[in-house]
A and B are shown apart, each in its own frame.
Chain A
Amino acid sequence: MRHTRTARFLITKLGGMIAVLLLVSLATYLIFYMIPADPARFECGKICSPGTLRQVRAFMGLNEPVWRQYLSFLGAIFAGRTYGSGPSAIVCPAPCLGYSFQQHETVMSLIGQTLPVTASIAVGAAVLWLAAGVAAGVVSALRRGRALDRGVMTVAIVGVSAPAYLVGLLAILLFGFKLNILPDSGYVPLLQNPAQWAFHLILPWCTLAFISAAIYARLTRSQMLDALGEDYVRTARAKGLRERRVIGRHALRNVMIPVVTLFGLDVGTLLGGAVITEKVFSMYGLGALLIGAVQSTDLSTISGVTLLAAVFVVVANFIVDVVYKLLDPRVTA
């Protein structure tokens, strides 16, 4: 019985996710390929010979009807695509998000080079901000005192008002130049040297986490205070459970429900923050790729990166929904 309900929940959510993904891909396609009067002209770049323009137009399939263009755009993501024919043909394996004429590479391989940088920043910062925010909130709720209380509130409003790049630059100034203990720029691939990878990412992680952790601390604190006054916590204590178990199993589980909801909404913000952070710390990530593409009007790369970002957020929200269900079995689709 319970299994069928869980299965139904998963199927409904999965169906919803696929519907949203299709809508998002359609919107991306329409925005970047339909709004410009001549997308090929954009994609071809500032210096563009008529021959190249003709080739670009054929590659992008702009001579076909619109619905067909969109279907081949969508099909390429699942099945790959071959641009052109004969010896000059370019094979774009699945998942194919297009081909950048300006950089002479498939968009996916451009993304493959830059995604690890942005993902490293985003995932590490998210872990840090959730851990630090929830821990600070729990501690301040348990030791409810005037000084600590006001401290958290003050840090929270400073955290909201301080832009990521400002915190980052101050961190560079303090730890990079004055104290000279942490690297202030550059990215070392994880597989090349894990220790250096983490070492170079300490400042970016702390910068990005600081902005949001304070909000999570405030939310956790108020939720925790509510939970501690609830009957189930009193019951758990009355049963003679140890305090650690009462807080950890009974109170915290309920506190995490709104925290997880908020995090689902913040995934997109996290990605934006990572883009800003990588610029502050001179790392070449997705943001740098996107901004470069915007400046040279490289439409294939722009639409590929935005579609990927949207897919990431939609999938992350699906995961959040599933975690939510695990935390709160009463939730139905």
Chain B
Amino acid sequence: MSLDTTRGLPERAGTPAVAAARRTGALARLLADRWAMAGAAVALAFVLLAIFAPVLSGITHNDPYTYHTSLLAGSGVPNGRLGGVSSAHWLGVEPQTGRDLFSIVAYGARISLLVGVGATVVATAIGTALGVIAGYSGGPVDTLLSRFTDLTIAFPQLIFMIALGALVPASFPRQFFMIAVIGVFGWPSVARVVRGQTKVLRNRSFVVAAQAVGATQLHILRTQILPSLGSTITVIATMSIPGAIGTEAALSFLGVGVTPPTPSWGREISSAISWVAVDPWYLAAPGLALFLVTLALNTFGDGLRDALDPRIAGRLR
């Protein structure tokens, strides 16, 4: 027999998104989606890996910086099978230097997730602001902002991100530069979807009613439009994270991302190129980590979209 203590009590509101999810049964739909849940579990595992990177590497008394050249053969290839996997080095060691690969992957997760989430926050903030302005004001403002959005989407963003790296002083923390630059180029997809949703909301009866009773524009935006956009923004932000993580890895892969010796998956994959023939396992660890976290977040994002906001049919990457 189950005891439902909340029966008869008014529904606890919680955050607006959670309340909306309860109302529409979205949470139940999400929990029933096996793929989305698997994605969430893998993503959570990577978050824990990033947070507890020092603790986990500490178990085997490793860190991502110490060289272990005694573990390498003369050619620089790790001794032993599978790239030198042992009880002390769970994923083997890096060729040439002998640094612990598990530590590198764990600390690399910190950079990936920090830049991925940070850039998404920046992109979502800019995109929401511009999208709401364009969708709510309509007319020439909308036309101008939409043209600008289209232009930014079509722009060779990666090339601009590489180029802008030249203007940043070496003393400026590289990860914050990456957050800024990926975020600044990432807003258009958010702006598009938010604009579309705002246009729909603007003509809904509760907004028209608020206008009729003389509410100010700012009040309508804050109390009517933005709360209704909550689930849309949640979905689109989740779906943007894997793209931002991929861009960070791509920039580091090209040698213009975070500077050594800060561990980064992209840079490890790039160094694996010259070793791929003799030590393919060196590619496997950072490569699989990047692939898994991206796949997990994409699957979770898809599930979240289907559960929370099936109307977003727009293309997101």
**Interface residue A280 (Cβ < 8 Å from any Cβ of B):** yes
Interface string of A173-211 (1 = CB under 8 A from B): 100010000000000000000000000000000000000
Q: Tell me if A268 and B157 are in contact (CB < 8 A).
A: yes
Taking the complex as formed, is B135 at the interface, i.e. its CB lies under 8 A from any CB of chain A? no
Q: Does B31 sit at the interface, judged by CB under 8 A?
A: no
Q: Are A161 and B291 in contact (CB under 8 A)?
A: yes
In the assembled complex, how far is the CB of residue A293 from the closest CB belonging to chain B, in whole angstroms? 7
Chain B residue with the shortest CB-CB distance to A218: B315
Contact in complex: A165, B269 (CB < 8 Å): yes
- Check B264 for interface membership: any CB of A closer than 8 A: no
- Asked if residues A268 and B298 are in contact (CB atoms below 8 Å), the reply is no
Interface flag for A58 (CB, 8 Å): no
Q: Which residues of A contact B302 (CB under 8 A)?
A: 157
- In the complex, A151 has a CB within 8 A of chain B: no
Chain B, 141-177, contact with A by CB distance < 8 Å: what is the 0/1 string? 0000000001101111111101111110000000000
Residues of chain B contacted by A42 (CB below 8 angstroms) = 166
Separation in Å of the B64 CB from the closest CB of chain A?
A: 21
Residues of A within 8 A of B253 (CB): 163, 165, 276, 279
A169:B156 contact, CB within 8 angstroms: no
Which one of A166, A177, A306 contacts B163 once the chains associate, using CB atoms below 8 Å?
A306
Per-residue CB contact flags for chain A residues 6-27 toward chain B (1 = under 8 Å, else 0) read: 0000000000000010000000
Q: Is B315 in contact with A313, judged by CB distance below 8 angstroms?
A: no
In the complex, whether B181 has a CB less than 8 A from a CB of chain A is no
Q: How many angstroms between the C-alpha atoms of A265 and B149 in the bound complex? A: 11
CB distance from B268 to the nearest CB of A (A): 11
A264 at the interface (CB under 8 A from B): yes
Q: Mark B263-287, 1 if CB is under 8 A from A, else 0.
A: 0000001101100110010010001
Q: Which residues of A contact B287 (CB under 8 A)?
A: 166, 169
Q: Does A160 reach chain B (CB closer than 8 Å)? A: yes
Q: Number of contacting residues on A, CB 8 A?
A: 51
Residues A275 and B158 in contact in the complex (CB < 8 Å), given A35-B167, A291-B256, A306-B163: yes
Judge if A152 is at the interface, Cβ distance under 8 Å.
Answer: no
User: Do the beta carbons of B276 and A177 come within 8 Å of each other?
Assistant: yes
Which one of B150, B151, B167, B254 contacts A291 once the chains associate, using CB atoms below 8 Å? B254
Stretch from B14-22, B103-111, B242-250 at the A interface:
B242-250
Interface of B is mostly: helix
Contact A272 B291 (CB under 8 A): no
Query: Do A165 and B250 touch across chains, with their CB atoms under 8 A apart?
Result: yes
Interface string of B3-21 (1 = CB under 8 A from A): 0000000000000000000
Complex Cα gap A166–B276 (Å)? 11
Bound form: Cα–Cα A314–B269 in Å? 32
| Residue A70 lies at the interface, judged by CB distance under 8 Å to chain B | no
Cα separation A46 to B282 with both chains bound (whole Å): 34
Closest chain-A Cβ to B249's Cβ sits at a distance in Å of: 6
**Which residues on B sit within 8 Å (CB–CB) of A280?**
273
- A294 contact from B163, B277, B298, Cβ within 8 A: B163
Interface string of A67-99 (1 = CB under 8 A from B): 000000000000000000000000000000000
Q: Does B27 contact A (CB under 8 A)?
A: no
A36 to B151, CA, bound (A): 25
Separation in Å of the B250 CB from the closest CB of chain A?
6
Query: Are A310 and B166 CB-contacts (below 8 A) given A161-B242, A163-B250, A287-B254?
Result: no
Residue A299 lies at the interface, judged by CB distance under 8 Å to chain B: yes
Tell me if A172 counts as interface (CB < 8 A to partner B). yes
Instruction: Write the chain A residue with the least CB distance to B295.
Output: A161
Interface residues of B in 198-223 (CB under 8 A from A): none
1/0 contact string of A207-235 vs chain B (CB within 8 Å)? 00000000100000000000000000000
Residue among A160, A166, A215, A291 with the most chain B CB within 10 A? Answer: A166
Number of interface residues of B (CB under 8 A): 42
Known interface pairs A158-B295, A268-B154; A177-B166 also in contact (CB < 8 Å): no
Check: B240 CB closer than 8 A to any chain A CB: no
- Is the CB–CB distance between B277 and A177 below 8 Å? yes
| A272–B156 touching, CB < 8 Å | yes
User: CA–CA, A39 to B246, complex, Å?
Assistant: 32
Q: Are B153 and A265 in contact (CB under 8 A)?
A: yes
Chain A, 267-295, contact with B by CB distance < 8 Å: what is the 0/1 string?
Answer: 11101100110011010000100110111
**Shortest distance from the beta carbon of B115 to any chain A beta carbon, whole Å:** 15
- Beyond A290-B159, A305-B159, whether A169 also contacts B276 by CB under 8 A is yes
**CB <8 Å contact, A299 and B166:** yes
Of residues 225 to 253 in B, which have CB atoms within 8 Å of A's CB atoms?
242, 246, 249-250, 253
Contacts of A317 in B (CB 8 A): 154
Whether the Cβ atoms of A271 and B156 lie closer than 8 Å is yes
Quick one: which of B153, B162, B166, B315 contacts A297, CB cutoff 8 A? B166
Contact of B298 among A157, A163, A264, A306 (CB under 8 A): A157
Q: Given A166-B287, A169-B272, A310-B156, check contact A20 B298 (CB 8 Å).
A: no
Instruction: Kindly name the residue among B166, B246, B273, B295 whose own CB sees the greatest number of chain A CB atoms within 10 A.
Output: B166
B292-308 contacts to A, CB under 8 A, are: 294-295, 298-299, 302
The residues of A with any CB-CB pair to B shorter than 8 Å are 20, 31-32, 35-36, 42, 157-158, 160-166, 169, 172-173, 177, 215, 262, 264-265, 267-269, 271-272, 275-276, 279-280, 282, 287, 290-291, 293-295, 297, 299, 302-303, 305-306, 309-310, 312-314, 317
10 A-B pairs whose Cβ atoms sit less than 8 Å apart in the complex: A20-B151, A157-B302, A160-B298, A163-B250, A163-B253, A169-B276, A276-B250, A294-B166, A303-B163, A313-B154
